[in-house]
Amino acid sequence: MTSPLGLCAVQAGGLVGLNFQPIIVEVCCRRGPSTFQLAGLAETAVREARIRLGSALAKLGINLDEYALVVNLAPANVRKSGSGLDLALAVGILKSIGRIPVEIASSCAFFGEVALDGSLRGIPGVLPLLDGARSHRFTEAFVPDDNNNEASHVPDLTVRSASSLHHLLRHLDGSCPIEPLQPQPYVPLDRTVPDLVDVRGQPAAKRALVVAAAGNHHLLLVGPPGSGKSLLARRLPGLLPKLSALEAMETTKIHSVAGVLDPHAGIVQTPPFRAPHHSVSEVGLVGGGSHPRPGEISLAHNGVLFLDELPEFRRGALESLRQPLEEHEVSIVRARFKASFPSRPLLVAAMNPCPCGNWGNPRAACRCSTTGRLRYLSRISGPLLDRIDLHVVVPPANLQSWRAPQQTSTMQSSQQARRAVESARKLQQERQSQRLVAAPDNARLNLNELERVAEPNPEGRRLLDLAIDREQLSARGYVRVLRIARTLADLDAAITPQAQHIGEALRFRISDLANC
């Protein structure tokens, strides 16, 4: 006959996308033949906790072979994955065998991986885990020391970090209390980024960068190799406004789940810049997998997603961008769950005008046939192209402009350009606060909002009507021209878009790449 030792429950949690799923770790311990039964739809990494915990608890003088353990992870119909349940399992076992004599509050949660020597290792996704625990009315949580920089940015939750099971055990039995982490205020970081002053010449492309940053408009750069497309794109993050506390939290959650967060920083303090290689898969670009992970479009949330050599990307990967760019969210649906990741980056794409890159280059002859060039350009679908607000032709670099001394200009440096961008963004936020519009930036204004805040003056209206007849603008193209015109007017602090704003907005639209 086996005799019962104890039955206890410890609170933990997991993530489905960025959403917190409470998990109750129930442990029943009996004296008897050594067994370890684990129920609750646990995947491999969770089942292997028996191996890790056996070695770690042996360091505390506890031999699991002396006990018959039954563990249930509730709710039993939710898939459990990852090693983040190790710490809750260890605490549950210690409690059930009587090594933790005090009660563990049901409002206290445990997150972390246990190493073979009993030390605690950091896990990805700690920030969304703790923020989700707080929203589910947990009042206290324990995490590994490796995660304390990240955990210290969660408000209204008592968080303590431990270095090992022994360290945690001494706190729980009252012999050596662990002080809570001190909440860290969010401070935006001014990091060193490539400056716009390094790019000489290309005034039209520089202007497009400022407009893109001011209204959060997507941008396409078309030009021959060496014209400076990549150079320009990498300077766009330096023009964006600093991240707000809410934007930093959103971005950090995504990077934390993906496991790319800098553990020393603890939080993302600058707009991210992501530049995936053109061989990236559809899952790598938009996210997915059996365990949903964010893709590059979500990792660039509140920052810049740069797609260099756009036609070289897989057609399926490019087409998968269409819905997230429109809805600002990636939804991954599986048989048992649905996960969502925010995806609101500023897309910057660059491409050559033809396979050899020399179409329209006065200093080099194009070797491509008309058929080959059209086939190359057809890799970019019309619907995707229509979702990009700004289309800019980047001419070959003028060597004389590179050799000439730099001239003083109010839009020369990134700092000067960012001040103009911030002024334009402030006007957009004021319209939102006055409830004239619901969107926080011009790139997300719908037609009804544009009719209220972006109706051009009579000359601008005549110019726009003429463009509709001659250029055959689609409905989406018409909306995007008005959005760009509103941004141009904001940069000039104009109440309504003028004719020059409509004209410049139309110049940023290339309806046919073959004629660029």
pLDDT single digits (tens) 150-197? 999 999 999 999 999 999 999 998 889 999 999 998 988 876 778 888
Spatial neighbors of 34 by CB under 8 A, at least 6 apart, are 64, 65, 66, 67, 68
Q: Which residue has the higher pLDDT, 126 or 290?
A: 126
pLDDT at 486: 96
Element (H, E) at 285: helix 282-286
Give the pLDDT mean for 244-272: 93
Amino acid at 27: V
pLDDT at 272: 95
Which of 196-205, 349-358, 419-428 has the lowest average pLDDT? 196-205
* DSSP percent split of the chain into helix, strand, coil, nearest 5: 40, 20, 40
pLDDT at 404: 56
Identify the burial level of 38 via C-beta atoms within 10 angstroms of its C-beta, where 0-12 means exposed, 13-18 middle and 19 or more buried.
middle
Identify the burial level of 85 via C-beta atoms within 10 angstroms of its C-beta, where 0-12 means exposed, 13-18 middle and 19 or more buried.
buried
Decide: 453 and 497 in contact? Cβ < 8 Å.
no
φ, ψ for residue 221 (rounded to 5)? -110, 125
Mean pLDDT computed over every residue of the chain = 90
Please determine, for residue 515, whether its predicted confidence score (pLDDT) is greater than 80. no
pLDDT at 187: 87
Give tens-digit pLDDT for 321-337.
999 998 999 998 877 77
Decide: 368 and 195 in contact? Cβ < 8 Å.
no
Give tens-digit pLDDT for 441-489.
999 999 999 999 999 999 999 998 888 888 777 777 888 899 999 999 9
Decide: 372 and 355 in contact? Cβ < 8 Å.
yes
Spatial neighbors of 136 by CB under 8 A, at least 6 apart, are 13, 20, 22
CATH number listed for the domain at residues 196-406+421-431: 3.40.50.300
Identify the burial level of 336 via C-beta atoms within 10 angstroms of its C-beta, where 0-12 means exposed, 13-18 middle and 19 or more buried.
exposed
Q: Which residue has the higher pLDDT, 510 or 82?
A: 82
Indicate the fold that domain 4-172 takes in CATH.
Answer: Ribosomal Protein S5; domain 2 (3.30.230)
φ, ψ for residue 295 (rounded to 5)? -95, -175
pLDDT band of residue 1 (cuts 50, 70, 90) is: very low
Cα dihedral sign, 106-108-112-118: negative
Which of 17-26, 360-369, 421-430 has the lowest average pLDDT? 360-369
Taking the domains of the chain in order of start, what are their residue ranges? 4-172, 196-406+421-431
d(C-alpha 48, C-alpha 147), whole Å: 22
Which of 30-44, 169-183, 300-314, 491-505 has the lowest average pLDDT? 30-44
Closest CA to 351 of 457, 254, 227, 241: 227
